[in-house]
Structure 1
Amino acid sequence: MIGRLTGQLLEKHPPLIVIDVHGVGYELETSMNTLVALPAAGETISLYTHLTIRDDAHLLYGFTREHERALFRALIKVNGVGPKLALAILSGMDEDAFMRCVRDDDSKALTRLPGVGKKTAERLIIEMRDRFPEWENASDATLPLEAATAQGQRDSVADAEAALISLGYKPAESAKMLSGLDPKQPAEALIKAALTQRLSS
């Protein structure tokens, strides 16, 4: 099991990143909350990781906070929730917001996330309430990261739109979510703003 990686951040293609660890490039998928916290390419980063092994692929997921990884691991144990949906949930809200939804039986807030219908939201509330002890008290350590730097406007918007589509939003919906936002922002900031705006609407 690969539990943590430290190396040079080579590429950011939301939601994918590539880290060079002693000459080996590791491709990881991340939540948007983690992606927003990453520095510019070329910087050294350290991430908590989760490895999923399938017949056709070995997939790595990266997180700046151990608490977020613990919640990810709890989510993928819920019936009908795979890694892709778990990342979409963690991209749309942080751990505290998710905890409030579960404790307040707020299925409506959960259904604003892509791929989460009414039945899935209700299942998440029921099953995650029982799983809180598994991750609620996990260390909330955050590995040191620097602030992200801006990219080209066109690339930022395109990358942000591609990331939203990968999370389950339709192309037209993704474009609408990004309209009105400042295109001078880096892709990570655009994604975060779009998700925040979508969930608060």
Structure 2
Amino acid sequence: MIGRLQGRLVHAEPPAHLIIDVNGVGYEVEAPTSVFFELPELKQELTLVIHHLVREDASILYGFRSFAQRDLFRTLLKVNGIGAKSALAILSTMSSAEFAQVIQEQNVNAIVKVPGIGKKTAQRLIIEMKDKVEVSAITGGDANQPQASRFGIHSEAESALQALGFKPTEASQMVKQVAKDDMSVEQIIRECLQLKGAG
């Protein structure tokens, strides 16, 4: 099974289709819309965490920018009535942290805004995910991770900054400098970019 791809981005077709060249082999990858906001230029190197789905009629690769995002995708697939298309739609509509908050608040109205998700499915999601979302969506499945929620959000922010061209150590330092407990991934990234601009 393929768990990670690192290669050159040779094709990007929103909202979900990518082709990554790995040593001359082009891998077709489906990805949530949020990944497209973080893509490098064509022919530049890209690394994605992969969920490899094998069916009788197809072998499909789904790509994500972080392990936490992939873990949420996998958890969503276990919910009755949620397939890969719906799971991608959820991850394209909201971040892992936002989804966790929606589930914890039992906000059905927010979930039905996701294309293809009706009220009954939204209610089922809340019931089945309420005990799983904090671990799977935010921490990447590690229930013993200290400061679990913040860890997952910081990790996603660092991954996004690295996709924008910052070195891992630089991205980590920037996130630690600006992040506050109540900030979303998007807010952290915005503050980091402003900080870099000011510097």
**TM-score with structure 1 length normalisation?**
0.70
Tell me the distance in 2 between the aligned counterparts of 1:107 and 1:135. Answer: 18
Q: Does 1:4 align with 2:22?
A: no
8 Å CA contact retained: 2:73, 2:87: yes
Regions of 4+ moved over 6 Å: none
Tell me the distance in 2 between the aligned counterparts of 1:70 and 1:48. Answer: 10
Higher relative contact order (CA 8 A, sep 6+): 1
Aligned to 2:132: 131
Aligned to 2:196: none
Aligned to 1:57: 58
Residue 6 of structure 1 aligns to a residue in which SS? strand
Tell me the distance in 1 between the aligned counterparts of 2:136 and 2:47. Answer: 23
Q: Equivalences for 1:1-201 in 2 at 5 Å?
A: 1-14=1-14, 15-132=16-133, 133-138=135-140, 140=155, 142=159, 144-146=162-164
Tell me the distance in 1 between the aligned counterparts of 2:100 and 2:66. Answer: 16
Unaligned runs of 5+ in 2: 141-151, 166-199
Aligned to 1:179: none
- How many corresponding residue pairs? 147
Residue 51 of structure 1 aligns to a residue in which SS? strand
Amino acid at match of 2:114: L
Deviations 1:160-200 (A, max 9, x none): xxxxxxxxxxxxxxxxxxxxxxxxxxxxxxxxxxxxxxxxx
Q: 1:136 deviation in Å?
A: 3.0
Amino acid at match of 2:8: Q
Q: 1:74 deviation in Å?
A: 0.5
Deviations 1:9-30 (A, max 9, x none): 0000121000000010000000
Residue 33 of structure 1 aligns to a residue in which SS? helix
Tell me the distance in 2 between the aligned counterparts of 1:76 and 1:97. Answer: 18
**TM-score with structure 2 length normalisation?**
0.70
Residue 130 of structure 2 aligns to a residue in which SS? helix
Residue 116 of structure 2 aligns to a residue in which SS? coil
Residue 130 of structure 1 aligns to a residue in which SS? coil
The two structures, once aligned, show a CA RMSD in angstroms of 1.4
Identity %: 42
- More displaced, 95-104 or 134-143? 134-143
